Amino acid sequence: MSIHWADVVAERLADRGPQTVASGITPSGQIHIGNMREMMTADAVYRALLDKGVDARLIYIADTYDPLRRLYPFLPESFSEHVGKPLSEIPCPEGCCDSYADHFLLPFLKTLDRLGIKPQVYRADRLYKEGLYVDVIKTALRKKDMIAKILKEVSGRDMPPDWFPFDAICKRCGRLGTTKVAGFDLEGETVDYRCECGYEGMASMKGEGKLAWRIDWPARWSILNITMEPFGKDHATSGGSYDTGKRISEDIYGYEAPYPVVYEWIHLKGKGAMHSSTGVVVTIKDMLDVVPPEVLRYLIIRTKPEKHIEFDPGMPLLSLVEEYDQQAVDERTMDLSTIGTGRPFPIPFRHMVTAVQIARGDEDVLLEVLDRSGYDTTDREAIFARAANAEVWLERYAPPFVKFQLQDQLPPGVNNLSPEVRKGLRVLAERIGGETAEEIHSEVYAVAEDRAINPKKLFQAIYTAFLGQKQGPKAGWFLSSLDEGFVKSRLTEASGA
């Protein structure tokens, strides 16, 4: 068994005492499989730590106190009034949840459960409102000049003399980032501020504002005792968020920065990196409609974090499912991908794609098709679940050449077949009877050779007779899925006999 990248990370952390593995995502829009790479990277390391007997916990911080940066394309124009406000304080865009943050966060948390990821969840707005940030806010305000110096030295950013590392929430307009701190009272735990809207007021350090991002991140490390955290390559650039965070954490808060694992983006084939704000996304829910959770885990965990993933939901996704089901994967990767006692599915996904198109929504017919193909159909629930996956894949992602519809009547296209090819169909009808899929496929080649017919022409004739088109699923497996009497009858009819 080869050494998995998660085991390498776990080995480096194993002798450092108890571990807190963290992940954090801002729920500003639909959380997609690109976002999921961070959470799965954290979970893979967490699992590897547990396998080594390390005392470890997995946490997820929802950045619910981040502001709405701009009016995203999926939002109505009316939401422009909320730009700049914390996500937890903005109403739900569809009126179904308590807040904007919950609208995108709650489905994500449900998805984590389906993926076998069970972190301890923290909401940033609650951490602030419950006072967990008060001490680190005081430290940041007291050492603001030291922080400004670090930002200059590490990132090259010059902070103005009146800069403060804290953003108050305006009591009039409700926005962050439009206020400037004018002074602070460490004993009273308050700051005085002025807002661009003209309001002047006082904000409590307990939940009426937040630290600026580059200070919030390292402050969080010490509050939650975080020892390992994956993050995207945008934070890992020289002088970027992690570099400044490391200095602030160690020089200002006296806390060793977490072990970093930098991950690359997931690219959607032909469209570039996934981002909620641009609409270039495949949501996790969409993916779980198509593939079982274990396969989605496998898609991400099999690749080292520092390598980007080119995600193609078409034929490569179909191949990915089969690769997992056939266990043609590294054993350790399979182990880290497995959820509960889940095991690879015994029926090839390609065959299920064929079977559901033959069955056309009839569950009894689907079971008959699978029975004829020699598959065990006792686990009906699992079969129907995988059939549903195949149907959604066909609807959303399958290329046209994969799709077909079994014709109830002999298609008129058979009239264009040459006499010799039609005779070949008649011979095939006479020879078929009780063979396996592979034997039927070989029989087509044998008939073509005996009758001196181009095999391609004979295969096209078969598809024309049954589907009304010149291509289709692998012929032997397709014909073995159908009732033998129907196959003989259709081939005979197509031959003109």
Q: What is the pLDDT of residue 327?
A: 73
Q: What is the pLDDT of residue 274?
A: 60
C-alpha distances (whole Å) from 462 to each of 27, 287, 346, 391, 406 are 52, 34, 28, 24, 12
- Give the model confidence (pLDDT) of 171-193 as tens digits: 999 999 899 999 999 999 999 99
Mean pLDDT of 13-28: 95
Q: Which domains does the chain have, with CATH numbers?
A: 412-495 (1.10.10.350)
3-state SS class at 203: strand
**pLDDT tens sequence across 123-135:** 999 999 999 999 9
Residue-averaged pLDDT of the chain:
93
* Lateral strand order in the sheet of 266-268: 272-273, 266-268, 309-311
Residue 2: band (very low, low, confident or very high) from pLDDT cuts 50, 70, 90 = low
Mean pLDDT of 462-480: 95
pLDDT digits (tens, 9 = 90+) for 374-426: 899 999 999 999 999 999 999 999 999 999 999 999 999 999 999 999 999 99
> What is the predicted pLDDT for the residue at 280?
61
- 277: pLDDT confidence band, cut at 50, 70 and 90? low
Q: Work out the pLDDT band at 369, boundaries 50, 70, 90.
A: very high
Average the pLDDT over 143-160 and give the result.
96
Q: Does pLDDT of 296 surpass 80?
A: yes
pLDDT digits (tens, 9 = 90+) for 193-215: 999 999 999 999 999 999 999 99
Span 133-156, average pLDDT:
97
pLDDT band, very low/low/confident/very high, at 271 (cuts 50, 70, 90): low
d(CA 71, CA 84): 10
43-81, pLDDT tens digit by residue?
A: 999 999 999 999 999 999 999 999 999 999 889 999 999
Kindly state the helix (H) or strand (E) to which residue 261 belongs, with its residue range: strand 259-263
In this predicted model, what pLDDT tens digit does every residue of 228-251 receive, in sequence order?
999 999 999 999 999 999 999 999
Task: Please check whether residue 352 is in contact with residue 386, taking contact to mean a CB–CB distance below 8 angstroms.
Answer: yes
Question: What is the pLDDT averaged over residues 16-37?
Answer: 90
pLDDT of residue 330: 77
pLDDT of residue 275: 61
Per-residue model confidence as pLDDT tens digits over 311-362: 888 999 989 998 888 876 678 888 889 887 666 788 999 999 999 999 999 9
Quickly state the pLDDT bin for 216 (edges 50, 70, 90). very high
Q: Are 424 and 388 in contact (CB under 8 A)?
A: no
pLDDT above 90: percentage of residues in the chain: 81
Condensed to tens digits (0 to 9), the pLDDT of residues 300-314 reads 999 999 999 888 889
